[in-house]
Amino acid sequence: MKTTNQFTKPITTVINSKNNLEIGGCDLVDLAKNYGTPLYVIDEKSLRTICQEYKNAFREYPKTNFMYASKALCTSALSKIISDEGFGFDVVSGGEIYTLKNAGINMKNVLFNGSNKTFEELEMAVQYDIGRISVDNFYELELLNDLTIKYSKNVNILLRITPGIECHTHEYIQTGHSDSKFGFDLTQIDDAVNFIKNNCKKLILKGLHAHIGSQIFETQVYYDEVKILINELTNIKNKYGISVDEINIGGGLGVKYTEDDNPPSIFEISNTIISSIKDCCKELNTDYPMIYLEPGRSIISTAGVTLYTVGSQKQVPNGRKYIAVDGGMADNPRPSMYQAKYHVEVANNVNRTNSEVVTVAGRYCESGDILVKDVDLPMLEKNDILCFFNTGAYNYSMSSNYNRTAKPAMVLANSGKTDIIIKRETFDDIIRNDVIPNRLR
């Protein structure tokens, strides 16, 4: 069965009677006119559908907890939607924790992850009674132990390990290989468990956590990861007599950015994970564990698009033709960071017949500010609207104010209606934290 992560566009995408692109029942040209560009648009139906697809895919294994990886895109409104669909949250910063708390999310359904959590962030997590903290290193164990004593609270933890698995993705988003900045090496697990058992009276070890990377198109790596986690979990039970029964296998399922991408469906991944659990538990004669999944990109990416307005054009003699838009690397840094590729279409007057190969450039003062190279598009004119698909994940969340530009607005589209869920920044927002010392006045 094909799932939403295998689509290039939101599931509500159509060409309407005006010959314009429409998403969530909303004309994208009208959205650009009403809200300005660049503009992030989230299709609520696609977001809810893929949450439901995850739950359906793992229905056979009821001991499953879904934790949306907030780093992909964290806003108050989207957190409410995702929580309504029965998901918890994987967070990696105090800012994400505060966003969820302020949105009224049950903090027992939150897991705090990250390789160098600050004392203040860990203290916030303890004070808010976060459900799980995934401990990444010995330094963090010591900090958390001090906090449990200070607040006289028990804290449930997982140990994050590096399983030694390399997946075929960009090296910057591999996290499970041996030479990784994340987690305890497999050879350090005994030392970590001994430290907890002998020194940490209020740290409750519940299980193990691993994450092997992002934008993963393979299935075997999940089988191997589960096997490693269950083996290590069983070793801890047998060697230390500790009742650990949880494994967190992270997320990382890929999405279809372009027609060249062929990610597995959510059902293919679930079959692999469940098969591995059954095979490994049978081999080791052990009980089925509680599992945690942390999908992020595959939840939100396809639901999001970004709209830009076409500005200047430049034809290089005997070279490329450049089409400039009013956004770029500040609202989508992924092409310059990861050489990420996107599918792009013109949103207005869609069915034009004449086309040409162009390169879409951003507005920023960097030669590397290129959104997409050598793409076949209709003959474009100034003020045309371009729609970049699959921009829900890691676009707004990695955006910046480079060149002192204001971050775009974000709207939620559903059944022909839109709601602002992030306001467009103003120049006053940009200078809000600037301070001129009195001696310079």
Q: Which residues are catalytic?
A: 365
Q: What is the spatial distance between Cα 209 and Cα 186, in angstroms, rounded to a whole number?
A: 12
Q: Which long-range contacts (C-beta less than 8 Å, at least 24 apart) are formed by 107-114? A: 107/131, 109/67, 109/83, 110/67, 111/67, 111/158, 111/248, 111/292, 111/294, 113/160, 113/209, 113/294
User: What is the full DSSP assignment across 273-320?
Assistant: HHHHHHHHHHHHT-PPPEEEE---HHHHTTTEEEEEEEEEEEE-TTSP
Q: Which residue has the tokens 């696609």?
A: 46
**If you compute the radius of gyration of the chain from its CA atoms, what whole number of angstroms results?**
23
Q: Which residue has the tokens 């429409």?
A: 22
Q: What is the spatial distance between Cα 82 and Cα 393, in angstroms, rounded to a whole number?
A: 14
User: What is the full DSSP assignment across 74-104?
Assistant: --HHHHHHHHHTT-EEEE-SHHHHHHHHHTT
Nearest CA among 202, 190, 204, 93 for reference residue 146: 202
**Sign (positive or negative) of CA dihedral 124, 128, 129, 131:** negative
Q: What is the spatial distance between Cα 254 and Cα 299, in angstroms, rounded to a whole number?
A: 10
Query: Identity (one letter) of the amino acid at 309?
Result: T
